[in-house]
Amino acid sequence: MIKKTTKKVKNYMSLVKFSHTIFAMPFALIGYFLALQQTQAQFNWQLFILVILCMIFARNAAMAFNRFIDREIDIKNPRTAIREIPAGIIRAKSALLFVIINCMLFIATTYFINTLTFRLSPLALFIILGYSLTKKFTALCHVVLGLGLALAPIGAYLAVTGHFDLLPILYSFVVLFWVSGFDIIYALQDLDFDKEQELKSFPVFFGRKGALNASLLLHIASVGFIIFAGYIGNFGIVYWIGAIIFTALLFYQHSIIKPNDLSKVNVAFFTTNSIASVLFASFAIVELIFALIQ
């Protein structure tokens, strides 16, 4: 029984690519500690855990819904036919039930945070679930995905403060442009398939070279917002070390991806971006903690 349950949990974690939580979670933590630093509020374990749970439930719902919506497309694509739903490991109805449960848990969790996050929770779900439908009618689907993940820092900030502010919004723009940029790179590997299925994406619209250029511009914008946020926040050397590392890793991924050589897409997509996210957040949070204890 335990072995069977463990296997089922692993299947669902694979369905939602739980390891990819590492992209947005560090920025949610930045939003949380930024709120503590800005308001001089005390660290609250209960609230911290609620924020983490919101991130997990929201992302579970978004990824599972994406797999549910894409199931008929995925089965036709050799790269994605091995995913849990097309491969028959998880039934489509079970995946949809998983989405509904995580949506309910997300809303319920926001209820215990504060009134504003609870009221905004349906809008947040609308954005993160809506991404799965956009690739069928707009090449801006990458930007919608970026917008969904961009809710992480501002959402965590709102959980502590209950109001909007400039700095967390700037970090949301960092995430928006960063995620949009690397999702374009990831989409390059399905260019031919997407054309056949008449799906929309930057690579389909602009071609490989144009899409890579667009991705680079988005990443330049992301770095610009990191610099602007650092300036507005009057952060010290620790923050700027993290910003330099983040910037270097973003440009590194562009150096290893060429229009005629996509062999390192997975390295650029997951490895480079996950390291960039974790390292930048680590340096930024250390900076914020230093400010708190001074």
pTM reported for the whole predicted model: 0.95
Q: What is the pLDDT of residue 48?
A: 97
If you average pLDDT over every residue of the chain, what do you get? Answer: 94
Say if residues 48 and 31 touch (Cβ distance below 8 Å). no
pLDDT score for 18:
77
pLDDT at 6: 84
Q: Residue 91 — φ and ψ, nearest 5°?
A: -70, 150
What's phi and psi for 139, nearest 5 deg? -70, -10
Cα torsion 37, 42, 43, 45: sign: negative
Give per-residue burial for 204-230: e unless 16+ CB within 10 Å, then b.
Answer: bebebeebbbbbbebbebbbebbeebb
The Cα 182–Cα 218 span in angstroms is 9
Residue 1 confidence (pLDDT): 63
Domains by residue range for the chain, with CATH: 2-293 (1.10.357.140)
- As a dihedral over the C-alpha atoms of residue 248, residue 144, residue 85, residue 191, rounded to 10 degrees, the angle is -70
- With 0-12 / 13-18 / 19 or more C-beta atoms within 10 angstroms meaning exposed / middle / buried, residue 106 is buried
Name the least confident of 6-20, 131-145, 165-179, 239-253.
Answer: 6-20
- Residue that wins the pLDDT comparison between 24 and 292: 24
How confident is the model over 171-196, as a mean pLDDT? 96
